[in-house]
């Protein structure tokens, strides 16, 4: 192999560029595969359960339990509440469809209350869904629309495109005053 190209062989014995190059390629490939990991998961990771898109999360299967035991995960229930850091706003779940929040599209109905538990009407709610372990957001920023005159809003679609821990932050901009945010953390099963 080496005797074929004398000049190249000389360089390579002196400075071992081939070996260095090999390591660099390996490193680049590794970095690429890490970067691709999340995308791969979104198509590949759901592949196993892709056909169960009906949302009928067969409750018996434990194969999809990717993060149920994660201490960060909140247990979804109607009435689940979150309070803003400054305690000036509270958000209460009135409904989630499907329940608990699941992969792909979700419809949330939430009630927004102020610091003294009075309904906040006429607000605009921005919903941002983020995967802290993967460092990426949901593809979709869903709109909010008032559903009743008791500070209830419907937000859809809250699109959670893969299994794992999702942080869902509702930022409420009232008709008057400063915005405030409340975050919920859910484990989304495959
Ligand atoms: Cu992800």
Calculate the alpha carbon distances from 173 to 84, 123, 149, 160 in Å: 13, 5, 16, 23
d(CA 158, CA 42): 16
d(CA 185, CA 100): 12
CATH 2.60.40.3340 correct for 50-188: yes
**Tens of pLDDT, residues 102-153:** 999 999 999 999 999 999 999 999 999 999 999 999 989 999 999 988 999 9
> If you compute the radius of gyration of the chain from its CA atoms, what whole number of angstroms results?
24
CA 113 / ligand 1 centre spacing (Å): 31
Query: Which residue do the tokens 């009928």 mark?
Result: 56
Q: Across the 190 residues of the chain, what is the mean pLDDT of every consecutive 10-residue run?
A: 43 44 40 40 38 39 70 97 97 98 97 97 97 96 94 98 97 95 96
CA 35 / ligand 1 centre spacing (Å): 11
CA 131 / ligand 1 centre spacing (Å): 6
DSSP-based three-state secondary structure for 65: coil
d(CA 185, CA 190): 16
Here the tokens at position 83 are 């309070």
Q: What are phi and psi of 12, to 5 degrees?
A: -70, -25
CA 123 / ligand 1 centre spacing (Å): 30
Domain ranges for the chain, please list them: 50-188
Query: Which residue do the tokens 């779940």 mark?
Result: 93
């Amino acid at each position: 192999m080496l005797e074929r190209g004398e000049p190249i062989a000389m360089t390579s014995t002196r400075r071992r560029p081939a070996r260095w190059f090999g390591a660099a390629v390996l490193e680049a490939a590794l970095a690429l595969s890490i970067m691709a990991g999340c995308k791969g998961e979104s198509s590949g990771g759901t592949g196993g359960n892709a056909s169960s898109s009906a949302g009928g999360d067969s409750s018996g299967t434990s194969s999809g339990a990717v993060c149920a035991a994660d201490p960060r995960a909140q247990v979804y229930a109607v009435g689940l509440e979150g309070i803003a850091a400054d305690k000036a706003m509270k958000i209460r779940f009135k409904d989630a469809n499907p329940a608990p929040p699941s992969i792909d599209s979700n419809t949330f109905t939430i009630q927004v209350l102020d610091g003294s538990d009075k309904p906040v009407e006429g607000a605009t709610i921005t919903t941002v869904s983020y995967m802290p372990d993967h460092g990426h957001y949901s593809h979709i920023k869903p709109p909010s629309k008032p559903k009743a005159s008791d500070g209830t809003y419907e937000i859809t679609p809250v699109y959670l495109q893969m299994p794992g821990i999702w942080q869902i932050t509702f930022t409420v901009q009232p008709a008057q005053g400063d915005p405030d945010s409340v975050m919920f953390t859910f484990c989304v099963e495959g």
